[in-house]
Amino acid sequence: MIIGIGGVSNAGKSTLAKKIRELYSGKKVRILCQDDFVKPHYELPKIHEHIDWEVPESIDFAFYKSQIISASKTCDIVIAEGLFAFWDKSLSALYDKKIFVNISEKTFRERKKRDLRWGKEPQWYIDHIWNSYLKYGKIEQGLHNFLYLSGEKEYSGSKILSFLNRNDG
């Protein structure tokens, strides 16, 4: 099974991926984070002399897809997570199950201010991250075969398992 997880930065995508791995502890599970497939530094676009990680052009989708396909041959479950999880249609078509993690803009901004993994980001760039999410990463509610979760609440293992184990065929 290949699971796609999308949502804005700091929504809880990685936390959810780890939760799913725990729920399937007897299975071989591989998590592939979109952030690990960023193009080389010299190929990355810039905005105001700042590297722009928040646009699809920053990701090597061909390599990301090839690694998902390769992992699916040796693993029981592959989880692909990232902001652009559903932006690339050929990538999205690989997923057997799709999960979207939603948080409010207020929660995003609060979490992003505390997120210092890459240093303190200027306010204009935090605004840019949110706007890029709205443009490239946000999906509408009610799409077929999606599980919508709030990243502002603890994840329900039973709800997740029920969705993942459901036979949609």
Query: Is residue 164, in this structure, part of any structural domain at all?
Result: no
Q: Please give the pLDDT value at position 118.
A: 65
Number of domains in the chain: 1
Task: Tell me the mean pLDDT in the region 54-76.
Answer: 96
The model's pLDDT over 79-129, given as tens digits with 9 standing for 90+, comes to 999 999 999 889 999 999 999 999 999 999 999 888 777 677 778 888 999
Query: Is residue 165, in this structure, part of any structural domain at all?
Result: no
Query: Is residue 166, in this structure, part of any structural domain at all?
Result: no
pLDDT greater than 90 at residue 1:
yes
Range of the domain at 30: 2-158
- Let me know how many helices (H) and strands (E) the chain has, helices first: 6, 7
Residue (of 100, 127, 78) closest to 12 by Cα position: 100
Query: Is residue 87, in this structure, part of any structural domain at all?
Result: yes
Query: Is residue 154, in this structure, part of any structural domain at all?
Result: yes
Query: Is residue 168, in this structure, part of any structural domain at all?
Result: no
C-alpha span between 169 and 160 (Å, rounded): 18
pLDDT greater than 90 at residue 143:
no
For the chain, percent of residues with pLDDT exceeding 90: 73
What rounded mean pLDDT belongs to the chain? 91
C-alpha span between 98 and 90 (Å, rounded): 14
Query: Is residue 123, in this structure, part of any structural domain at all?
Result: yes
CATH number, position 82: 3.40.50.300
Across 53-57, 58-62, 89-93, which has the greatest mean pLDDT? 58-62
Query: Is residue 105, in this structure, part of any structural domain at all?
Result: yes
The pTM of this model reads 0.92
- Which ranges in the chain belong to alpha helices (H)? 13-23, 61-74, 89-92, 105-114, 123-132, 157-165
